[in-house]
Chains A and B, each alone.
Chain A
Amino acid sequence: MTARVGIVTFPGSLDDRDAARAVTRAGGEAVRLWHGDRGLRGVDAVILPGGFSYGDYLRCGAIARFAPIMADLVPAARAGLPVLGICNGFQILCEAHLLPGALVRNSGLRFIDRCLRVRIEDTGTVWTRDYQPGQEITVVLKSGEGAYVADEATLAGLAEQGHVVARYAGGNPNGSARDIAGVRNAAGNVVGLMPHPEHAIDPLTGPGADGLGFFTAAVRQVMAG
């Protein structure tokens, strides 16, 4: 038996293929899920991949949040299903209120594709337990609306409760509040990450293999039951 990780394709999803490859490299089975279908096909975890779902029209993630599959995903996530939202996936998780805050236009107003270091702040989640607390890893940030924002009380709460999963380590690239690169929910099963770990799984095609840990951790966790 192997861990079955669902990857949702919305109209305009782009990094779904990359997320599937990362799951496979981590030893899991990638199960493709379609936005317009109902049901999660019994997967053990779900990744919402990067891209421009619905062309980012209206607001990033605002339309995808109402896709039929979300009607099944949201209650499953609230019941503990491991969910990782990467980039556009993070935006969708915020729009679906599975995570607090929102992602807005980069402070420089331009799209950024950059290999950069992030510090793993919380290793208590399903997705980050293969890292050491404070470990710095190199991943790929590629987004135009990647600046994390939330009201002061929410930001303070995230910090106090240790719900910030990752922070930018080598300078703030996009104006994110408190250098936040990723957050989690209170239960720790839902994680949103602005940079892309799935683009850092092989030195041949990315800055290294530092990102693979997100996927191996989840696959191992599921296997351990």
Chain B
Amino acid sequence: MSGTGTADTVARAALTGDRPQPYAELGLTGEEYELVRRMLGRRPTDSELAIYSVMWSEHCSYKSSRRHLRQFSEKAPPSEALLAGIGQNAGVVDIGQGYAVTFKIESHNHPSYVEPFQGAATGVGGIVRDILAMGARPVAVMDALRFGPADAPDTARVLPGVVGGVAFYGNCLGLPNIGGELAFDACYAGNPLVNALCLGVMRHGDLRLAAAQGEGNHVILFGSRTGPDGIGGASVLASASFGGGAAGQAAKRPSVQVGDPFMEKLLIECCLELNAAGLVVSIQDLGAAGISCATAELAAHGGTGMQVALDAVPLRDPTLTPAEILMSESQERMMAIVEPGDTERFLAICARWEVPATVIGEVTATGRLEVTWHGELVVDIAPQTAADQGPVYDRPAARPASQDALAADDPARLPRPAAGPELRAALLALLASPGLADKTWVTEQYDRHVRGDTVLAMPEDAGVIRVDEETGLGVALATDGNGRYCRLDPYAGTQLALAEAYRNVAATGARPVAVTNCLNFGSPEDPSVMWQFTESVRGLADGCALLGTPVTGGNVSFYNQTGQVAIYPTPVVGVLGVLDDVRRRLSQRFAGPGARVVLLGTTGDEFGGSAWAQVAHGHLGGRPPTVNLAAERSLAVLLAGAAQAGLLEAAHDISDGGLAVALAESCLAGGQGCRVTAPGDPFVSLFSESAARAVVAVRPGVEHAFTDLCASHGVPAQVLGTVGGDSLDVAGLFSVPLDELAAAHRRALPALFG
């Protein structure tokens, strides 16, 4: 690569076709490099090679997943709520009263392992800009985190850094963090998962799509100056496995970006003011692949051309080459298409927010993306070839033979607690296990109050944000994933993740309407991983069709493996629901004595992949719980109806750890005990993880109305007991004082992380 004045120009490339080029170091295969040469009819320039290497990376092009992801559109249930769907920066959902919301979850796994604090921080920053690019005001974030064993030395390095980074960036942006997940498993020891979600709100008319239109319109780059950080982040970092060993991580550290949330806060306010003033034709955030991606996608989606003077880009480091500028993933940058007559006002608003802004080019009618460097042409390509026409792979997928042995290893063989004291000990062990323990150590580092619209936040089943203060319109959001279930059966496991997020949203009384996803897998070049992936996508697409909730967008993260060891397949599913009036929302808290405790749904003997099998026996085998999406749907309709009618004091979904853990959480949240029976086999009753279940507290005096409602929706309901007292009392078996429950639940994470 060369500096000013000696840039590798298009003219030079045509004359020096034999010059060896470092395509492999940039992450392109030999075949892909040859494809570039064929498309151009010559060798690419250094700058063009840079563009193709990042745009055709797995991270940006979805080349291994694209043909499977089509199912999300093909199988999508009819929905009038979708205003913009897959392919945009984020999906947009109509929630009524003239409002729309947009939401998306995205991974930042590899950067967060290499440099936990900045990796996680910029993960939040990136997803927030995606939402901003749709024309929405970001209003909340969530984080779904997975780490190696809680007591592993490296977890003590990675977890506090990741949590600190999420907190630092989100808090500094003034976005409440309303929920997420925290899970531990040895499979994530070499590949922690850091998935960040952002929610944005807009009026219908505010929607902006990324497409460069209008010949002569200006291309404006605004936000931070471009530096040498994150070069090749999409290709060499996000789209390859770690080689293993500390040296490999250190060598990749320059590929991690560094975040400045203060600049991003200014960008948010600046963009919203620009939108409100009607000065933006189109807008795109700069994330993975930086200026390469923004220019190629804007031009490709607009069906136009674009001319860009790369030397006009403000730099933090004047020695950067054109190729490096194109690849840089410096944070807190946006690109807008602006009518020339509006440019002056545009720049004035940027100046008021102290956001640097520069006109770097214009929209043309040539159909070409042309980039110059001090007057010399260094890029001349059809933008579609970079943005949409990259290679698409039909990777071989094969169900591994080991799957049968795993399924045959039924947890029924494991010794089970039976007597009261054993059951009591099992409950306390579950509550004290890091995955189920109280998460305050983490969530207390997140600002959940800022903006004053947070109605529910962790540890509730779902976060709830008020959208309109007058009418009470709001939305509920939850994310869920369970790598253990998916390892046993990726199709069913993914549907269980969908079902749990759907149920979590329903437990607040909201109506689930749309889905986002972050699909975390190992290497797509491994046929058994590819089989997991195809099964998972098929499961999610089928599940969404049955639940009537379309997928609005998402993200695929491959190469989550170190050496030959892949993570469990871990699709994380986010579900969005609508609450017409947030004042009717349901909390998991047992609020006061006297309410009747009722179990909804059917309990079977289902322990495959369960928290109990993991905590008590370190076991993973058998079948995950049965999926029954029709039952999930009935349960959700029942909960929304009961919330609307004011019949319930509390509702809590039943998932990891079963009924016993759900009851303990509701007791601890409200500071109220309860006295219940455990019908049937007490162990199964208390700890089974059968899906499509919830526990509710029915307001005294309306028991019959609620029973009738359950019957009319075909949801089995069983009265277990009553809220009250200062202990969790399971009749005839055991009793645990709330203080003892709380101590077990709350001591685990502080004991591990200080």
Interface residues of A in 5-21 (CB under 8 A from B): 11-12, 14-15, 17-18, 21
Instruction: Let me know if A14 and B260 touch, CB within 8 A.
Output: no
Partner of B450, one of A15, A112, A144: A15
A21 contact set on B, CB distance < 8 A: 452, 469
A160-172 Cβ-contact flags toward B at 8 Å (1 or 0): 0000000000000
For B150-177 the 0/1 string (1 means CB < 8 A from A) is 0000000000000010011001111000
Contacts of B352 in A (CB 8 A): 36
Whether the pair A204, B446 counts as a contact (CB closer than 8 A) is no
- Interface size of A by CB at 8 A reads 29
Stretch at the interface among A50-58, A89-97, A149-157: A50-58
Q: Bound complex: CA of A105 vs CA of B681, how far in Å? A: 53
Give the residue of B260, B354, B445 whose beta carbon is less than 8 angstroms from that of A11. B354
Q: Is the CB of A114 within 8 A of B444?
A: yes
CB proximity of A203 to chain B, nearest CB, Å: 10
Contact among B265, B452, B582 for A198, CB-based, below 8 A: B452
Is the beta-carbon distance between A15 and B174 smaller than 8 angstroms?
yes
Query: How many interface residues does B have (CB within 8 Å)?
Result: 33
How many Å from the CB of A108 to the closest CB on chain B? 9
Q: Which chain A residues numbered 31 to 79 have a C-beta less than 8 Å away from chain B?
A: 36, 50-52, 54-57
CB nearest to B448 among chain A residues: A113
Query: What secondary structure prevails in chain B residues at the interface with A?
Result: mixed
Determine if B449 is an interface residue (Cβ-Cβ < 8 Å).
Answer: yes
Q: Is A199 an interface residue (CB 8 A)?
A: yes
Contact B454 A142 (CB under 8 A): no
A110 touches B452 (CB 8 A): no
Closest to B583 in A: A204
- Does B262 count as interface, using CB distance less than 8 angstroms? yes
Residue B376 lies at the interface, judged by CB distance under 8 Å to chain A? no
Which residues of B in the span 258-292 have a Cβ within 8 Å of any Cβ on A?
260-263, 265-266
> A119 to chain B: which residues have CB within 8 Å?
none
Query: B455 to chain A: which residues have CB within 8 Å?
Result: 204-205
**Contact for B445 among A18, A112, A140, CB less than 8 A:** A112
Name the A residues within 8 Å of B311 (CB-CB): none
What A residues does B443 contact at CB under 8 A? 113
Q: Mark A98-120, 1 if CB is under 8 A from B, else 0.
A: 00000000000011111000000
Task: Please determine whether A111 and B447 come into contact, CB atoms closer than 8 angstroms.
Answer: yes
Query: Within 8 Å of chain A (Cβ to Cβ): is B206?
Result: no
Determine which of A51, A204, A205 lies in contact with B174 in the assembled complex, contact meaning CB atoms within 8 Å.
A51
Is A4 positioned at the interface, with any CB of B under 8 Å from its CB? no
Q: Contacts A12-B172, A52-B172 hold; do A199 and B452 have CB atoms under 8 A apart?
A: yes
Q: How far is the CA of A11 from the CA of B267 in the complex (A)?
A: 11
The contact string, 1 if C-beta is below 8 Å from chain A, for chain B 572-592, is: 000000000011000000000
- Determine if A57 and B262 form an interchain contact, defined as CB atoms under 8 angstroms apart: yes
| Chain B residue contacts of A198, Cβ below 8 A | 452
Q: Are B449 and A54 in contact (CB under 8 A)?
A: no
Residues of A within 8 A of B263 (CB): 55
B161 to chain A, nearest CB (A): 12
Q: State A12–B466 Cα separation when bound (angstroms).
A: 23
For B447-486 the 0/1 string (1 means CB < 8 A from A) is 1111111110000000000100100000000000000000
- A184 at the binding interface (Cβ < 8 Å): no
**Closest A-chain residue to B582, C-beta based?**
A204
Which chain B positions have C-beta within 8 A of A36?
Answer: 352
A196: nearest residue on chain B (CB-CB)? Answer: B449
A206 at the interface (CB under 8 A from B): yes
- Asked if B531 lies at the interface with its beta carbon under 8 angstroms from chain A, I say no
Whole-angstrom distance from the CB of B376 to the nearest CB of chain A? Answer: 38
Inter-chain CA distance A21–B450, complex, in Å, is 12
Closest to B450 in A: A14
Q: Which of A157-188 contact B (CB under 8 A)?
A: none
Query: How far, in Å, is A50 (CB) from chain B's closest CB?
Result: 8
Q: Which residues of B sit under 8 angstroms from A17, Cβ to Cβ?
A: 451-452
A55 touching B172, Cβ below 8 Å: yes
Q: How far is the CB of B157 from chain A (nearest CB, A)?
A: 16
CB neighbours (8 Å) of B23 from chain A are none
Question: How far apart are A80's CB and chain B's nearest CB, in angstroms?
Answer: 30
Which of the listed residues A14, A18, A205 has the most CB atoms from chain B within 10 Å of its own CB? Answer: A205
Chain A residues with Cβ below 8 Å from B451 are 17-18
Asked, given contacts A15-B174, A55-B172, whether A142 binds B449 with beta carbons under 8 Å apart, the answer is: yes
Task: Tell me, in angstroms, the Cα distance from A114 to B164 when the chains sit together.
Answer: 16
- Does the CB pair B445–A14 fall under 8 Å? no
What separation, in Å, do the CA atoms of A52 and B469 have in the docked complex? 25
Give complex CA distance A196, B172 in Å.
16
Question: A111-B447, A112-B445 are contacts. A12–B265 as well, Cβ < 8 Å?
Answer: yes
Does A11 contact B583, Cβ atoms closer than 8 Å?
Answer: no
Among B265, B449, B582, point to the contact of A206 (Cβ < 8 A).
Answer: B449
| In the complex, chain A residues whose CB is within 8 Å of the CB of B446 | 111, 113
- Show 14 residue pairs from A and B whose CB-CB distance is below 8 angstroms, ordered by the A residue: A12-B265, A14-B265, A15-B174, A36-B352, A55-B263, A110-B167, A111-B168, A111-B171, A111-B447, A142-B449, A142-B450, A204-B455, A205-B453, A206-B449
The 8 A-B residue pairs with the shortest CB-CB distance in the complex, in nearest-first order: A55-B262, A14-B174, A18-B452, A199-B449, A52-B172, A111-B445, A142-B447, A140-B449
Chain B interfacial positions (CB closer than 8 Å to A):
164, 167-168, 171-174, 260-263, 265-266, 352-354, 443-455, 466, 469, 582-583
A residues apposed to B, CB below 8 Å: 11-12, 14-15, 17-18, 21, 36, 50-52, 54-57, 110-114, 140, 142, 144, 196, 198-199, 204-206
